[in-house]
Chain A
Amino acid sequence: MEGFLQNYGFLLVTLVQQALLALSLYFPFMAGQLSLASPGFYALGGYIAAIMATVDSCASLRNALGWTIFPLEWLVAALVSGILALIVGIPSLRLRGIYLALGTIAFVEILRVLFLNLDITGGAIGIFDIPQLFEERWSYILIFGPLLVVVLLFIHRLQHSRTGRAFKAIREDELAAGAMGINPTYYKVQAFVIGAVLAGIVGAMSAPLLNTWNARQGTFDASVSYLAYVLIGGSRSLWGPLLGAALLAALPELLRPLRDARLIMNGLVLVVASIYLPHGIVGALSRLWSFFSTPSAARGGE
């Protein structure tokens, strides 16, 4: 039992964490914006938590707060990520489509180089010996799990709200959305900021989990992975990123017996999925569902 929890518990934590990061990308997606900035905010959030948890100048604060320093770290990470997203988002969301994607990749890269060279972020070595929130790594599910539930509920409610409709209108046709009284810039920035806040919080929660934090967190590779989660799972439903993250993050583990061939298999799954499932897995499933449910409804009508 102990070993099971150790192995699969940690895998589960990783899956939930990756799902959350995929969902952080899904927010700008809802407003039709292809942003790959999440890893940057994830790294930023992690550094904020790591710094607050280790630097001497915060020692008295840590002593005074006890374990409640952790929620404070999340809050600070959320705030800083949100403010940075606002500053970066307003100019860069003028860019459209692939240019926005490229701009956000550049943003992630700039942050990475910054983290690599600043003293406070520990340079190339990074920050290590970050105090743990839990004794066992699988216990982190106790924070990531509820966060995932909250985020899913948030998106579900958002989709049927005034703000969610504005996002969808912009995704469908930005020009028409403007002519219907929606300020596209405002809502694009809002969607971008929400995604950034989420990525920042996930970063702050992940720093103690991983124990060390350095510039390898939040790279271009990560941007591509999260994008793959969303595209392969399906970008039109909140279940898409979730399923995509679960499948793709678990895949390397499941394919472990194949040893070196697993990377090839991993790539193969990506290619096959993107060719045969243009609307992602969830999109394909919902088509399948309507395909099988329509004839039976017709039969009932005879």
Chain B
Amino acid sequence: MLNRLTKLFENKRENLLTVYFTAGYPKLDDTETIICSLAESGANIIEIGIPYSDPLADGPVIQESGMAAIDGGMTLQVLFNQLTDIRTKTQVPLILMGYFNQLLQYGVDKFLDDCVKTGIDGLIIPDLPLMEYEQFYKDKLTQRNISISFLITPQTEESRIHKVDALSTGFIYVVSDSSITGMKTGISNHQISYFERIKSLHLSTPQLIGFGISDRESYLTASKYANGAIIGSAFIKHLKDKNEVDNATADFINLILKP
């Protein structure tokens, strides 16, 4: 059975633009506006970050947006409430990104059920161990037709890449460099050879390259070596101090997609 994410990959395999934003940032009630504006301007997949107090894989930009969102009142329950009617507005694939502790406290089953109710298609949980997923959660996600994407990095061994390929049901998140989010911009030759190495493995799961993708140039370069790219910190930075997020979001996507 397909969900919106896996259906997208059936139909389009090139230059897929995925955009990350932190739920509740810049303001608590911006969630729906940002999602709709991203979708209308041409983003193919939207990754909604659940703000966390201690996001180990994230740099200062996402950390600060998360703290601002938490201070503004964002919680998982608030987020699911905000998403109740989202499927009457857009059919863009939506994925949630959060740390495993947040799911544990909410209750994993309740979390997954609420994902189904609101129409979430996929998950990224960077600190969920592969083994634990396989043992305890794989069946739960499969039953509910929710995809999951695991990460690989330049240091990931080939045997593990194949394991990630076998377990990922949405896409493989190809972390572009050994770093936390938002640290570097641009793509070096050294990264290109890593992308080529991954491409040459002909993995069965689609791949999206993320971390350090910040503008049209890096988006297009990354898309040459994968099915598309993920932009996060650069979009959060763009939203900072914006009172009106609808046009601000559209402006940002236009800069990425329009030559």
* Pairing of A with B: no
